[in-house]
Amino acid sequence: MAARRIRLEREYQRAVAVIYYKWERNDPYLEGWLQSYERRIITEPSLRQMIEERVFATLKERYERRLKERRSSLQEIETAIWVDAKFEGVENRLWSMLDVWERRWPSPPKSELQTLVADSQNVHTRVVIKQTDRSMAFLEAQVVPVGQRTTDEILAAWLTTRTWAACQPLYEEIVNWGQKATIYVEGDYLYRKTLRSLWALIKSYHGMIYEELVARLWEECTESIGVCAQGHITRLANVMVGFHEEFLSPQCSKEQFQDQMAAIAGKTCSVSEKITEARLIMDQHGVPEDERVAWFEAFD
């Protein structure tokens, strides 16, 4: 009896691992695999419940990290849920989290920075362009190893955790952009140069940090599909945010200030009272006078 229970438990754990593995790799036959195991393994909680709980926990952690680091807007997360969840139960639970996340990481009041967040491509404001230029200057100084085969090496790194079917569209995307001769000025081949330098920098890291950077490169390249040329460059620069001091998120550097302004905007007191409180905070942060007006107008 004990031996049978142990065998069933091992089979159950193996099934959970297999299904989760196939979910991670976007297996098109995921539901079929799960149903096949469900017919053979009857447990409480059910195999489906266990898989959905694990997928939910994974995506919740991933999305909250991106929201906290200001690398994705709530709208982008909502779109990602459609693609990532795969299970109706997981989708419903994640959508129920949107209101919670909105309260926890509110959008800043109307200003240049709020426009940045609302922009579907999130790249066309002075703040982002300035930071991207700084990041690009650092990447241009990177020494690229002789013989580096950038796209092939990136593909090999992605294939350690994904199938060729999952990697092929994104691999073709970066190859295609690498062949574009003009990004900002004619013949600059900027995407190719940026990707080469970024990959050389990523390879200078090891262990878990290297693996996280490879995963982040996948995420940023995925999110750049369909955006403009400048958007592709900005997404590449985003990969290193949080890992190197030269790569700063324009919003992360002002996160505390934005949160304070958002809290004031949500109060029920008069506009004049909000402005008085905001001035004190702006004095603490050293906000120039000519930048304050836009924040005050957002309180109306």
Neighbours of 154 (CB within 10 A): 23
Other CB atoms within 10 A of residue 78 CB: 15
In this structure, what are the phi and psi dihedrals at residue 238, rounded to the nearest 5 degrees?
-65, -25
Please identify which residue in the block is written with the tokens 């050389």. Answer: 200
Whether omega for the bond prior to residue 288 falls within 30 degrees of 0, making it cis, is: no
pLDDT value at 80 more than 90: no
The mean pLDDT value of the chain amounts to 78
Helices (H) and strands (E) in the chain, counts: 15, 0
**Alpha-helix residue ranges (DSSP H) falling in 73-184:** 74-84, 88-104, 112-118, 126-140, 150-158, 164-178
**Rounded mean pLDDT, 89-118:** 68
Tens digit of each residue's pLDDT (9 = 90 or more) over 173-217: 999 999 988 877 788 888 999 899 999 999 988 888 889 899 989
Helix (H) or strand (E) run with residue 85 in it: none
Higher confidence at residue 254 or residue 262? Answer: 262
% of the chain at pLDDT higher than 70: 78
Is the pLDDT reported for residue 252 higher than 50?
Answer: no
Q: Is residue 191 within 8 Å of residue 177, measured between CB atoms?
A: yes
Instruction: Grade residue 118 by pLDDT with cuts at 50, 70 and 90.
Output: very low
Tokens 């995921």 correspond to 30
How far is 220 from 218, CA to CA, in rounded Å? 6
Report pTM.
0.45
For residue 272, the SS3 value is helix
Q: Tokens representing 218?
A: 């996948």
Classify each residue of 110-134 as buried b or exposed e, where b means 16 or more C-beta atoms within 10 Å of its C-beta: bbebbebbeeebbbeeeebeebbee
Of 186-195, 230-239, 285-294, which one has max mean pLDDT? 186-195
Choose among 264, 250, 258, 249: nearest CA to 287.
Answer: 258
Query: Does the pLDDT at position 220 exceed 80?
Result: yes
Helix runs in 179-267, H state only: 190-202, 207-223, 229-238, 255-265
Q: Residues 148, 197: contact at Cβ < 8 Å?
A: no
Query: Among positive and negative, which fits the CA dihedral 131, 135, 138, 141?
Result: negative
- Compute the chain's Rg from CA coordinates: 23
Question: What is the rounded CA–CA span in Å between residue 117 and residue 130?
Answer: 16
